[in-house]
Every structure is written in structure tokens, then in C-alpha cells.
Amino acid sequence: LPVDHGREFAVNGSLSKGKIRGAGFTFVLVFVACSLFFMPVDREYIIYCILILAVML
């Protein structure tokens, strides 16, 4: 996962350096992939998965 590089001009910006970020996007991708793999696939469910990905962006 990508890590935060800190914020040079923020108050205590160096404290955020090294924190993991972007985990939500990875979680949603894995969730959609697993749900399409394990759930019965129909048109309505595919539309829901596309909307979940669109909201995440």
C-alpha cells in the first residue's frame, strides 16, 4: 500500500509521515471482485458493483 510522505507546511505534518493510505480503494476492489466471484451474477448486481466503484472514485 502507498504511504504518506508527510506535509511540509502543515502543523505537525511530519507526524503523518509513513502512515498507510489508499487502503479503502484496495478494500473496495477486493470486495467487488470477491462479490462477483461468490455471488450469483445478474445485471442488477453488476450495476450495483459498478456504482460502488464509481462512488469510491
Has this prediction a pTM greater than 0.85?
Answer: no
Beta-carbon contacts of 45 under 8 Å, excluding residues fewer than 6 positions away, are: 35, 36, 39
Q: Which tens digits make up the pLDDT trace of 22-52?
A: 778 889 999 999 999 999 889 999 999 999 9
Torsion sign, CA atoms 37, 40, 43, 46: negative
Q: What does 28-43 look like in DSSP terms, one character per residue?
A: HHHHHHHHHHHSPP-H
Is the pLDDT at 12 greater than 90? The verdict is no
Other beta carbons within 10 Å of 10: 10
pLDDT on residue 38: 93
Contact assessment for residue 3 and residue 20, using Cβ atoms and an 8 Å cutoff: yes
